[in-house]
Amino acid sequence: MNDRVSNCLSDLRQFDSQPSSEKIPFASVLVAAWNEEKHISKCLDSIIANDYPKDRMEILVIDGMSGDRTREIVKDYASRSPLIRLVDNPKRYFPAAMNVGIENARGEVILITSAHSLCDPKYVSACVRHQQESGAENVGGVLRIERGSETGVGRAIASALASKFGSGNSGVKTGVKVPTWADTAAFGCYRRKLFDEIGLFDERLLSSSDLDLNLRIRKTGGRILLVPEIEVQYFADATLGSFLRHNFADGVWISYVMKFGKKAWSWRHWVPAAFVLSLVAAFALSAVNHRFLWLGLGIAAVYAAVNVVVSLQMAVRERDPHYAFLLPIVFAVRHFVHGTGTLYGLILVILPGEHWKGRRGRKA
């Protein structure tokens, strides 16, 4: 972390010691939801439990016209708390939800979260405080990845996503030790005026719209601060099937954004695709020269060895023998399926028209 960040964050008590709540920025917390009756109550409870002054915040639940009890639950909360408002999102998808929320928000700062996540009790105050002290355009924290289920597969998926072998140098998933300038942060806290300067979320990007927004921030000289003390509890996929669909769709959107003239990615997002492409190329060229067959087998063998070693290390560290055979499968799905999705997205970019809609079949 450079000296400027150190100096900006050296005296965090200044924000807490302000004599009047009127000097504290009004904060709007946007919660994107669609058919989240199982999670919405816990999500709202976690936000309400925040230590931020209640007269200086609001909670907007932007619902994608849920067909379950989500709307009924939110209306019940709204009837009992003036903090909460239900806002309709007829387009359903996440970027549209964010834009509707921003347009309806009263806050000087906008915080973004999801009904599928839980916020730390100091989430709002910590985000606002660090933003004021650092001057960052976007301040967020790390994802505390929780198990989608208590099955062996559910535990393995959560552990894999939180590891560097599973998520590369993504500090938002693997964690950081000190406040760090980054390319993204969990959900995020934005200054309201930022959206007047760089525009709203791109609704054509049904996924990766947050990555696109962060890239636009950085292109205009803005900064994104990743703070370890700010945590958002995120529930990983519960089954291997949902994990597979998730990774394939995420992989597609890494490259498919180019269909819209976008570049919403970091180098780490392309590593799985490069790996899969090297295997495909080597085995395809083996028809011309058998040496390429050995090259492909060598690449596969190295990957398998690293996968097994990492999985065994995690099995020992977590004292879970199931990891020894579950994690190699989960890592393979993570890397091969994501890489295949990215290559498929490249094909779709070349083809005329739009061929990919949605993200895992989920809306906001």
* Residue 52 pLDDT class (50, 70, 90 cuts): very high
Domains of the chain, each with CATH number or no CATH: 3-10+24-238 (3.90.550.10), 258-349 (no CATH)
Q: Give bridge partners of residue 145 from the DSSP assignment.
A: 234
Predicted local confidence at residue 184, as pLDDT: 87
| pLDDT over threshold 90, residue 360 | no
Burial 155-187 (b: 16+ CB within 10 A, else e): bbbbbbbbbebbbbebbbbbbbeebbebbbbbb
Shortest CA distance to 233 belongs to which of 146, 303, 356? 146
Shortest CA distance to 338 belongs to which of 275, 266, 283, 260? 275
| pLDDT over threshold 70, residue 14 | no
Three-state DSSP at 156 gives helix
Q: What is the mean pLDDT of residues 184-200?
A: 92
Contact in structure between 86 and 78 (CB atoms under 8 Å) = yes
| pLDDT over threshold 80, residue 21 | no
Weakest mean pLDDT among 78-87, 307-316, 345-354: 345-354
| pLDDT over threshold 60, residue 338 | yes
Shortest CA distance to 189 belongs to which of 134, 266, 236? 134
Q: Tabulate helix, strand, coil % of the chain (nearest 5).
A: 50, 15, 30
Q: What is the mean pLDDT of residues 215-228?
A: 93
| pLDDT over threshold 60, residue 262 | yes
H or E element, residue 235: strand 224-235
* Residue 266 pLDDT class (50, 70, 90 cuts): confident
Q: What is the pLDDT of residues 73-96, one digit of tens each?
A: 999 999 999 999 999 999 989 999
H helix and E strand count, the chain: 16, 9
Predicted local confidence at residue 132, as pLDDT: 93
Q: 203 vs 354, which has greater pLDDT? A: 203
How far apart are alpha carbons 114 and 59 in whole angstroms? Answer: 12
| pLDDT over threshold 60, residue 16 | no
Q: What is the mean pLDDT of residues 224-230?
A: 92
Q: What is the pLDDT of residues 90-142, one digit of tens each?
A: 998 999 999 999 999 999 999 999 888 898 899 999 999 999 999 999 999 89
Predicted local confidence at residue 221, as pLDDT: 92
| pLDDT over threshold 70, residue 10 | no
Three-state DSSP at 231 gives strand
Contact in structure between 341 and 252 (CB atoms under 8 Å) = yes
Three-state DSSP at 154 gives helix
Strands 109-114 and 186-191: antiparallel
Neighbours of 108 (CB within 10 A): 15
Q: What is the mean pLDDT of residues 5-17?
A: 40
> What DSSP line would sit under 38-103, residue for residue?
TTHHHHHHHHHTS-S-GGGEEEEEEE---SSSHHHHHHHHHHH-TTEEEEE-TT-SHHHHHHHHHH
Contact in structure between 99 and 203 (CB atoms under 8 Å) = yes
Three-state DSSP at 319 gives coil
Residues in CB range of 303: below 8 A, 6 or more apart: 275, 335
pTM, whole model, 2 decimals?
0.83
Query: Across the chain, what does the average pLDDT equal?
Result: 89
